[in-house]
Structures are given as C-alpha cells and as structure tokens.
Structure 1
Amino acid sequence: MYRQFLVNRENTDLQRILWRNSASDKLKVYRLLTVTYGTAPAPYLSTKTLQRLARDYADQFPEASQSLENDFYVDDYISGHDSLELAVQLQKDMTELLKLGGMNLRKWTANHPDLLAHFPPESVETATAFTKFDDGSPDPTVKVLGLQWNPRLDTFVYNVPNLEIPKEFTKRQAYSLIGKLFDPLGFVAPAVVAAKFQMQNVWKTKCDWGVDYCGPILVRHSQRKGVKPNKAYIAIFVCFTTEAIRVELVTDLSTQSFLSAFQRFIARRGKPAKMLSDNAKTFVGAKGELEHLETAIKAIQTYSGELSIKWEFIPPGSPHFGGLWEIMVRQLKNHLKKVLGKASLSYMEMNTVLTRIEAVINSRPITSVTDDPSDLSPLTPAHFLVGTTLTSLPPVIAERKLTLRARWIGHQALLEHFWARWSREYLTSLQTRSKWRFKTENLKSGDMVMVHDVNSPPFYWRLGRISKIIPGEDGLVRVFEVKTHAGTVRRTLSQISPLEESGGQDV
C-alpha cells in the first residue's frame, strides 16, 4: 500500500539511495518517489491519505467513507454488515472508493460463502490449513491482525506451540513462554492470568534465580571482527585483615571455573585459614548454568577441606553480613563504568583492565595521613603485599652491595613497621565507629517470631518458633534457625520480629 502514495518532490531528497553494481562503476543517485516501508512517517502518511480520501468522497460513498475511516488498520480492512445484500454493496463501494486513490483491495475472505461468490477469484484469500484441538482435523484459517480466524465457524483460534519445559526451568523461561501467547483482545486472559498467579507464588518462595554477583560482563574471546561477545564473571577475594583484594576473571559459573580461580588466588596470595562467602542460595542464582548446585557446593567445600580451609556461608537474604566485599564490588563496578563505558574488550584486554583496577583499589589509603609533616605516605593494603603502593614509582636504590640476608632482614623490618602502623593507626580508628548504646537481651530458643518476607505484606508473613540460636564470636546472637509450617529457615535478627518470650533458656 505504501508504494501507492507519492511523496512531495521537495521531500524526495530525504529518500536518496546511492547505488553501483560493482566497485569500478560510478555511483548513481536514486530518489524514492513514494512512501517507503520501514521509515518512521510511513504509517502516519498512509493513514492520513486514507482519511483524506474518505473525506473527499464522503458525499459519493457515505457508508464506505465512514467504514474507511473506522474499520481500517493500516492496510487491513475488517468490517461487516447485517445482511448479505448490504455487505455486497459495501464491498463494491469500498472497492470503487479505493480505486479513486489508485489502490486495489485484494485477499478478500468472508464467513458467508455467498458473499465470496461476488468477488473475483484472483482477489480471494487462500486459507491455510490449521489443526484444531478437538479432533485433530485440519480446518482452513486466515491471519487477521496476528490472530487465526476460522471463516467457516466465524471463530478465533489460537495456535499454541508445543511447550517443551526444560529440566532446569528458570523464571526467565517461564515469562518467555507466557509471552509467546499473543492475545491482544484478551480472549484467553483467564489462562494467562492463571500462569501469572503461578509466577507470583514462585516469587514468594524466594528462589533467588539470576542473582548478580559482580557480573556478568561481556567479553570477546578473539580480537577478530564479527566475533560475538560472551558472558564472563568476576570473582573478588577480600582480606578481612588488611582489606586487600584479588580480582579473577572467570569464563562461566561452573564449579571448575571457580575452583581454578581459587587455585590462582592461593598460588599468588597464599592459603587462607578461613573463607566466608555468600549463602548457598545466592549461588543458586549465580550458578544458573550448573546442572546440580548441591554437587557444586559440596565440591568447593571438599576442596577447601583438603587444604584445611574452613569455609562458611553468611545467612540467606543478609547481604549486610558481607558488607566488606559488597563495598569492594561497588568500587570495582564504579571503576569499570568510568574506564570502559560501552566498550567491548577481549578476554585478554578485560583481564588487563581488571588487574590495573585491582592495583588502584589496593593502593587506596586505609588510614588518614599522620600529623607528621615528613610522613607523606598513608598506609595502604598494598604495603602488606609488596611493601609499597602498587601505583607509585620505584624507589631510588643507593649504589651499595647488600647480601641476600641483609636484604631479607631489611624487608622484615619494613614489614614490622607496616604492621606496627596498622595496629597503631588503623585499629585505633575503628574505635570512632558507631556502637550500640543500649544492650538488649538475646532471643531464646522457643520464642515465637514473625518471619519477614519482602515480597508480601506483613499480614501474610509466616509465624514460627526459634529452634536454634547461633551466637557470634562476641557472644551476641544475630542468626537464628526458625521452624515454620513450611520448614526450617535460617534468618538474621533484622529479618524476624519477636511476638512473645517463651521463658526458655539460652541454648
């Protein structure tokens, strides 16, 4: 239909096309004289032309002009009448009216066989075979505005594809299946609404699928043109003593990739005595590509057990328990946004950028500069790694010969100086942080509590009793195991509300 509408001559320069058959030919300039499909104003221009045509010939074709303004959707005409005679007359008038605008209506179809007899055979739409749901016999249907219309029965039919539910079904896949049912008129809304209610119940179960843990980022595994970027993830290891970090780029969320990154960390920074990470349920979201999450967690714990490393997880839904590494994740992301923007890097380039960002973060001061005017270097995490900031210039070494033993003694003295400054400056600065002014009693085993749910109003929160308390190293209780009608869950103090005291004793 668009090619039937001419564009004003002064606007054809905006529709130029440069063309040549071969590289040796001269460029030829073509101007499109008609409305071009795919341009932004094309639907508007065609619709306004039909409306103008209806107004210009409203006196000659009153009923057809009114139908032209109200029953057209771009180039699709859907209308009807109360009797066969009036429908035939409307069809003839509409055909004549559009001929005045240089347009020919084609692909006619109707729910009355006698009406189709008045149409030329070449202008009748050929229906496609469609399999019905009841007996499986094919019945001819045609597409009408994206829907399947059965002219013989005068009904709309929905072709639902065979929904193959994978073994690991995610929420994204569920929403994708729901969105495949095109229903602009709301005929099958009850079925769609029921599916959406099911998705609400899934959200209430707090299955943290798709949880982001510093990723994913897109990297190219080759510098060649046309290579599509793939997902990669960032593992951050943070020292709880010096707040130094180690950044590792991993290609996927498999157990082997994480263990490989962990082995590289141990090889460069030494074996830790204790590891603390997000709760296993958080790994459910991060490890969406794993076939069996429990096997992955057990593999990590088994590997750490062989190295005599104690591995612990924070309570579920309590990211404030891992505030230190969350701060490092935020700093790393801020640097990535400022440095990269929307650039697409290769795996090697991204690894280089992450290494340099790691050096910058490890060179940040962890204590304020002292009052000594001669002391210009604050204490940084890098001092405990290499003896100086990672971004500073190398010191000037005097022309003197020192034995390896003398150099080692000097290096040890330098490390002792850093640790002395750490205990004298950094540890004392922790005393200025806010502390609780009032002491409250710990909750006891058997106390009735209400378990918070961020996805539901308080009226729907579950009731439960504390079955076990888990005190911290300071003797205060911040983590509890609560028994509800749905099972036993582990929650922090901020995620429950006590209702009454049982009078029981501390566990």
Structure 2
Amino acid sequence: MEAFEFNRLVFGLKASPYLACRAVKEVGSRFGSNYSDMARSAIDRSLYVDDLLKSCPTTDSAITTQREVQSLLQHGSFHLRKWRSNDRQVLEAIPEADRATDSLLHLSSNDNPTISNPVKTLGVAWNARDDVFTFVYKATSPQQLTKRSVLSKMATIYDPRGQLSPFTIRARLMFQELCTQQKDWDAAVSDEQSSKWQRWFAELPLLAEIKADRCFKDARRPPESAALSVHVFTDASSHAVATAVYVRCEYPDGFVKVTLAFAKAKTAPIKPTTIPKLELRGAALGVRASQVVARALDIPVEKHVYWTDSTNVLYWLRSNAKNFRSDIATRIVEIQKSTTADQWRHVPGKVNPADLGTRGERAADFIRNDTWWRGPQFLQSAPAEWPKTNLTVPAQLPGQLKKKPAITFAVEHEQIRLSPSTYSSWSRLVRITAWCLRFLGNLRARITRGRAVPTSAVVVPLQQTDGTSAKSAASNSTDQHATEELSPQELQKGDLVLCPSPDGTRGQWPLGRVVGTHPGADGHVRVVDVKIADKIKRRSVHQLVPLCADSG
C-alpha cells in the first residue's frame, strides 16, 4: 500500500477557504517582525482570501505599504498582482507586470488614470478614477414571476454596506407579502403583485447613477487633522425597522464632511407588534451596526452618538430594565451594555434619514436624497446647534410592570398553652401538645364536613388540665373503643356537646349546641334543649359530652 500526499492546496475542499486565509496570515505572523505596522495590519485585517484592500493616508505611505506587503508575502511564495490605485504616483511605483492588465486604467493621461469601467472589488464595483462605489444591474425580469424567480433576482443585488436599503426593502416587503399567502414556490403571482415587481425591476438600471464615496475624509485636507465621530440614526414603522450610520469628519477650519458608512433595514415581524417595541428593536439594530463600523474604522464607542425619534425608547433607556416585561427588558439590557443614556438623543422624525429605510423609496427619489447620503443638515453645524433632548420620564411607561402593594395581615391564633414546668422533658411536652392539636383538628374537621352547627371556634381549656387529662381528651375523640366521658359540668346556652347514641359508635356521635336550659328547684341544670342539625331535642346533661364551657 502506498500513501500519497498533496503538495498543493486542493481547490474545492471544505477546508480550502480556511487553509488559504490561514496560510497567508501565518506568513505575516512569522516574518512580519521585520516590517512596519502598516504592512502587518494590511495582511492581518485588510486581506480577504485573495483580495487585498488597504487605505493609506498619504501617497508615500501607500507606496511603502505596497512594497512591504509584496516583500513580506514573498516569504511564503505568494506573489501579489493586479494592483490598482486611485493615485497616479502609486501606480507608477508598481512594476508594469504587476499592474492590472484588463485595460481599465491608462497612465497616458496627464492627470489621474482614466477608468473605462468600474472593477469589482469583493463584489462591489469600484471606480478608481473618481474613488467611488457604483452599482450596475440589468433590468431584465424573469419570464414567469414566482416566489422562486423573484427571490433569485433579489439575490443578485449585492449590497454589503446596506446603502441601497431604501430600495431593497421594497422588494423584501413584497416578498414577505408573497410568503403570507402560502403559495407554492413555483406558482405564478397575481396580476397586481406582478405589476409591482415589474416596476421594481424596471428601476434597477437607475442604480448605476449612484456614486458613493469610498473615503470618509476630505482628500484636500490633512487626514490626521480630522476629528472623527459616528452618528447612528434608528427608526421603525409597522412594516420595517432600519438604521443608518454616518461618519462625521470635522476639521480645524470648521469644514465638516458627513458620509453614509453603513445601513441596514429589516422587515417587521408578521405578527402585529406595537410601534414602540419596533422602535426599540431598531435601536438595538443601530447599536449592532455601530459596533461593525467601530471595529472597521477603529473609532472608539465613546465617540458614537445615537439618534431616535421615539421618546419611548429614550425613556426606556433611562430606566431600570427590571421594571419592564421580559421582551422589552432584553433589548434594554443589550443596548445599555454598549451605550450610555447620555449618548442617546432625540431627532425630529422629518429629518431622520433612517425613516427612508422603514417605508421604502423609489430609486429615482432616494438616489438624489441628500439626507440619505450626507445625513441631516444639522450635522454640518457645531454640536451646540444640534437638536436638544429634554425629557422628563413619566411615572408609567409602556410595558412597565405594575407594582403590587404588599399587604401584611396580623392574624392572632388561639394557642394551646401548656406550662412547661409541669413536664419532665421537652419531648413529653411536644408529644402532649401534638395530641391536643390533633384533638382540636378532628373537631374542626367534623364542623367543616357539613354539621348544621354554627362554626364558632372550638376551644378546650387545656391550660386548666394537666398533660394526662389533655392526652385522654384527645384520645376520646379518635379512639372508638374508649368509654370514658368528660367530667360533668354546668351547661349553658351556646355550649357545644356530643350527643351519644345507644346504637352508634363514639366516632359517629352527632354534634349539637345547647339552645335552652331547664334549672331545677335547687338552681342546677339537669335538663337542656340541644339543637342537632335542624332538630331540637331535650336531653339530660348526663347523656351529653360537653366540649366547651364557653358561653358563646
């Protein structure tokens, strides 16, 4: 048996993309110590598979970085070719054999290189002459419009930075409407929906007019003098939530340049949701988008300003998340982990650029909408002239849990009081007390089982008995074979008694209440009237077992 080993990386394996990237980064890690930080950073952060995109502050730094990266990767036998640049001097410094040879640039011009067609850079068309990104799409629509065909056409629009969100959200909303109808993937759409899709497809060629700046700073001013800050706008409607992130560069001379850096729009859930909750969802989306921009541009989060036209969101973020329902509290916690309440400000809805991403725009309209591409006009002014945020948090906010007042009741129970000094041990005292409680529980249970006797509390004056008599009284209520009776006593109206029956067992004796007494000539009561259930019977006191001596 012979074992064969690949000497080259095989294209098409599952691990091939990772191995390709890892091999290049390994070269930079092993041999980068002899090169500048700019070159090492270019390989570590600006290289994606076989495409290298690096922005340098000056022409000299760009030439130096290109040469160092080329030399560094030669240690791994990686030779970079097809170099392009928006600067003529940088192109002249690159050997002609390593320049792009697709006839896109010509150094014969006296000024900048001329570009006949934009070149795709990671799927995005870049016009190197004007240093702008463009979008070129064909207007052809599928012959038969189905869910499958329109989704396939939507997927051809590659917009990683979300700059086309006001236009693409229209297609997403229309596709969401198709999904709610639960039609088959290959079933034709209705005529009304077909006309909407045809109009959307017809607007695709207009996207070629878009020229989005690649560089956020002004090329005519020193790049190191710019003060960078990030402004995040969020909004929501019943159809979608959106966010737009802008980079604001302010120079010492007062010049300000604001550029759309990132945007994202998402359809709202099909299940109806309140607008304040959607606004909070949009705020969370804005925080995630700002973190993407912060990692890419190395702009500290402390320099981020967040804008929303929802006062409810501002109230929520200034409150404790524990006071709200879980669905609201979860997003509040997510936002509060990355931002502070002071970073959130209120913006009027009319000048909120994120509003375009929530309702959708025709291509002809949003292409020329300066608010979308350059942000609100007030960002061109000093911070002192920005909209003020004056809020007073109300007592009750939407979704806030209502505090239930705690009510405390003082309940006094008639307790069995036995004198501990009369017992020889703690265990004997506990045992006798348990017998007494069992006796009282049995009596109360007989009343609740439907005996037609008023439910006054049954109290046995145990404090007047010793442990032996208490245990004996409890035993009499549960032991069917016991024959001892309670000691005779003077009965009064209202006393509870057990009425023994000659043919019944002790456990089945009925419970009664004394409703009348008949004293003798000597004043002693020997005969009483007892109410048993709904009948009144006359009995001798010697035929009754008294349960209490309470006058009721």
So what's the TM-score if we normalise by structure 1?
0.33
Who wins on radius of gyration, i.e. which is larger? 2
Q: Specify which structure has the bigger relative contact order, considering alpha-carbon pairs within 8 angstroms and separated by 6 or more residues.
A: 2
